[in-house]
Structure 1
């Protein structure tokens, strides 16, 4: 018999992954019975997972319904400020503590990701793996936990900034600069390279949002 705690964990992970992969986008309504049928999980762990996601502000109430939350301009700005500082710290610590094997993994990721430059969705997934690898290479469990929370909130962005023209190639070059600094053991350079990378991504997202507003007018 399956452990109920495992069912709850699985339900939470399944719904979170569905939001992260944009199967459910900001504003989409999540219905308990539909989720249970889609994921083959009973309604009790689904209900508990939805409550947990609401507590984490990934879901919000629209009347009696739960919908995937969205980020307004202020929340987006706040999120990128925090992300830039925490990611920069992770890169600084990775430059100090990463094992040679961890640096090699980052370098291999750089080479593999070149093949994805014309596939924004695949490159976005690869980008998350790349950043997660840097988080782990920091060898600071508390920082990794905080970055996990930040990246859960990033799932509330309906589109990836990597879809912008030229952003894929720019991102790969920025990743290369980050890895070079980590490989050289230069914490200050690694911090700056990753902060600049997050800043460039934020600028791109602001331009995309501005273009959407202009198109709607």
Structure 2
């Protein structure tokens, strides 16, 4: 875990890492006290990170049950998530094209070239893909699109992490 990140972000990234590594599967439960013990940090940043993951659709808080759950994924939900993401990213790309700078375009090309030129581990692929999309959404210069993008991106990532060939067939290096 990167020490310079705030504790809340460390906890957030830790849970995302468990999902990317398939250490947590859809339907699996996690509990705040276990994370406190594993990460050696106080409850407050972990609780804040878990709340953020629930708000973004990466985890669910099931009423009447303790802990948090990785959502059970379905074809219907996947279709809704990617339809919404497609619509939003089309608008983001349009706005980014309008507001772009030459430096921003160069940065996107560099991220894209790096992604294509090297054999990526899951972590590297995930980081570069996220970097590319986040740069693009920032180029749109619209905080409402950016906020909407966050939840859709994270929820759609669950489908990619659990069902994407790159994450399933062993082509990537750990």
The TM-score, its normalising length taken from structure 2, stands at 0.74
Seen in structure 2, the aligned counterparts of structure 1 residues 108 and 118 have a Cα distance that, compared at 3 Å, is: closer
* 1:94 maps to 2:96: yes
Seen in structure 2, the aligned counterparts of structure 1 residues 89 and 20 have a Cα distance that, compared at 3 Å, is: farther
Between structures 1 and 2, the one with greater helix share: 1
Task: Tell me the C-alpha RMSD between the 2 structures.
Answer: 3.0
CA contact (8 A) 1:113 1:123 kept: yes
Indicate the residue corresponding to 2:12 in structure 1: 13
Larger radius of gyration: 1
Q: CA deviation at 1:43?
A: 2.9
Structure 2: give runs of 5+ residues left out of the alignment.
1-5
The TM-score, its normalising length taken from structure 1, stands at 0.61
Q: Distance in 2 between matches of 1:17 and 1:119?
A: 15
> Number of residues paired by the alignment?
160
Seen in structure 2, the aligned counterparts of structure 1 residues 75 and 31 have a Cα distance that, compared at 3 Å, is: same
Seen in structure 2, the aligned counterparts of structure 1 residues 32 and 131 have a Cα distance that, compared at 3 Å, is: same
Q: Deviations over 1:43-95 (max 9, x none)?
A: 34434543554455422439544221132111110001100010111111111
Greater mean alpha carbon deviation, residues 16-25 or residues 150-159: 16-25
Structure 1: give runs of 5+ residues left out of the alignment.
1-5, 169-217
Q: CA deviation at 1:144?
A: 0.9
